Structure 1
Amino acid sequence: MACEPPVYNGEVDPIVCQRWLSDIEGVFERTHCDEDDYIACGTGQLRGQAKDWWDNKKKEIGSEAAKAMTWDEFKTPFLKHHTPKAVVNRIKEEFMQLRHKGESIHKITGTFMDKMEFCNELITNEEQKIYYYYNMLSTEYREFMTPSKYETLTEIINVAREREIELKKQVERVERRAHDVNPSPTKKMRTKVTGKKSDAKGGSPNCKICGKGHRGECRFKDKPCPICRKTLRDIWLHHAQKK
């Protein structure tokens, strides 16, 4: 129990069922469990509908036959009940039609491996595994791969992971360039305000006569207004005297 053997609730899902069998057999191996105790230890981890099935099975074959049953003899009816042929056939079809559509390589590889477990009669060697994995990948991965270069499935999976990292870097570079060319409104406003402050500090003061920023004598001070014929200097002096 220190190895935390997994429980099985009786899901009619071949992938979940096979994973439970693999995990519980791993516990048997790690704990050096006696083969005579496989049934007692394994069925002790059944829950829900799986336990109901086993209880009914024991009644069907008798308690003595259940005690004498080997692990392989247990797995045959266990798999027949929890991995119906129709469900297994559906998984095989899903494997054949599996395509990479934006998922991470980690996720799509996990799905590929789970479904491939039920295609043993279709995939019998590493070359076929590589072939199906390659054809499952999206174009942006396949265009940089040559299936004949790889000898094992692990090799092409690692190449796909490296390609995924490179694609992410490309996207990040494009986003950085786009951000530099078109900064956010907040950055634009900050730049504009900074520019105004800079002008106020290092630019020319506003003229009291024309209102514009310049240094030296105002060239508009003696230029008459086209309506009242008064110069801007006369108007400014007139207002200054009123104040």
Structure 2
Amino acid sequence: MEQLLAVQTQLMQALVQNQQNQQIGGAPRDKRGEFLKGHPLVFSHATNPLEADDWLRVVEKQLNIAQCNDQQKVLYASGQLQREAQDWWEAFEYGRPANAPPITWQEFRESFRSYHILEGLIELKREELRALK
């Protein structure tokens, strides 16, 4: 009887361990769901260049928390674009060669900043803010 109980205990422990392993590493995580849990803002345009930079930083933080890879970052961030920003994104994608490699997150960031934030304007705004303090 003791042997039977010992075997049952071992089986139960193995089942519990197997279930925990599946929850931790076995089943793929819903990274888009995790990204959206952070309630990332949509972006359409910004009258202040710091707003565009802030949007990009906040979205990137949420993407990192969700542990997204490069392609997921580009896909999920571009999914938060609307109106003028969506038009920019579609034109950017359309302007790429058909056989071009997938857009990297770094490429997305740099292109977003160069289009939505005039070069040097962020630093100028930061200097203005520092002068006010």
Scaled by the length of structure 1, the TM-score of the pair is 0.36
Change (3 A) 1:3 1:64: farther
Q: CA RMSD in A?
A: 2.2
Q: Which has the larger radius of gyration?
A: 1
- Deviation of 1:12 after TM superposition, in Å, equals 4.3
- The correspondence of residues 28-107 of structure 1 with structure 2, limited to 5 A, is 28-62=63-97, 64-65=99-100, 68-85=102-119, 87-88=121-122, 90-98=124-132
Change (3 A) 1:95 1:49: same
Secondary structure of residue in 2 paired with 1:77: helix
Any gaps of 5 or more consecutive residues in structure 1?
A: 99-135, 137-243
- Deviation of 1:86 after TM superposition, in Å, equals 6.1
1:9–1:51: 8 Å Cα contact kept in structure 2?
Answer: yes
Change (3 A) 1:64 1:23: farther
Change (3 A) 1:90 1:32: closer
Q: Could you say which residue in structure 1 is the equivalent of 2:9? A: none
1:43–1:54: 8 Å Cα contact kept in structure 2?
Answer: yes
2:59–2:77: 8 Å Cα contact kept in structure 1?
Answer: yes
How many residues get paired?
Answer: 98
Scaled by the length of structure 2, the TM-score of the pair is 0.63
Select 1:13's aligned residue among 43, 48, 71. Answer: 48
- Deviation of 1:10 after TM superposition, in Å, equals 1.9
Higher relative contact order, structure no. (Cα contacts within 8 Å, ≥ 6 residues apart): 2
Percent of aligned pairs sharing the same letter: 24
- Deviation of 1:85 after TM superposition, in Å, equals 2.9
